[in-house]
Amino acid sequence: MLQDIHIPHSLSGRELDLYLAHGWYRMGPAIFTTQAITLDGIVYPVQWLRINLAKFALTTGLRKLMKRNRRFTVSVRPLEITEEMEEMYSRYYALVDFEASPSVADFMLCGALQAVFDSYVVELRHHEKLIAAGIYDQGEKSIAGIMNFYDPEYARFSPGRYMMLLKALLAAEAGMEFYYPGYIADGLSKFDYKKGIVARSNGNV
């Protein structure tokens, strides 16, 4: 149930900040806003989430999550969708129990040749092996978490939640004000994993 959608031909960091602050979010090369989604004929109200990074604090659970993943190497780079990423995503896609795009490229571009967003990827590696990735778009004073995926063999380390935590920490370190991880939907538990990271949430403003 999309209420509005734009496909920008250009987008500055400040413009992305404004979109995010008003409850808009990326979908492929477009940016959209909604107050509800429909699944199997049922309408679920959504709540857009925002982490105020100045108030973000590590809970005991998040500290344990960091400790559990300390053995892995973290790096950040401008997004380039590689064969290595797609191979890992294909293993992740084969096991997810919800509707998802068949590839990283399809999720990020939806058939477009390119998008106007300033995108980065956080990579998690065990020695040289890529085991998790988290993609985000960067604005002037905020970031938007776009997707997280991982090697199913490492699921016991909660890499999806860890990617969200890393994005928050990296954005705070870079002097950003807000981290927008998307939305949760009332009555749909598949979004509940976000609640353990979010320090502050609000609807469209």
All structural domains of the chain: 4-196 (3.40.630)
| Torsion angle, alpha carbons of 59, 137, 32, 203, to 10 | 20
- The CA distance from 44 to 37, in Å, is 5
Question: Where does the pLDDT of residue 172 fall: very low under 50, low under 70, confident under 90, or very high at 90 and above?
Answer: very high
61 sits in the region (left: phi over 0; alpha: psi -120 to 50; else beta) called alpha
Give the rounded percent of residues in the chain with a pLDDT score beyond 70.
93
pLDDT of the residue at 198? 63
Quote the Cα angle for 78-99-43, to 5°.
110
Instruction: Give mean pLDDT, residues 34-39.
Output: 86
Quote the Cα angle for 170-147-27, to 5°.
120
Instruction: Describe the crossing of helices 60-68 and 159-173 by its angle, rounded to 10 degrees.
Output: 100
Q: How high is the mean pLDDT of the chain?
A: 90
pLDDT greater than 80 at residue 126: yes
pLDDT of the residue at 178? 97
Among 39-43, 169-173, 190-194, name the one with the lowest average pLDDT. 190-194
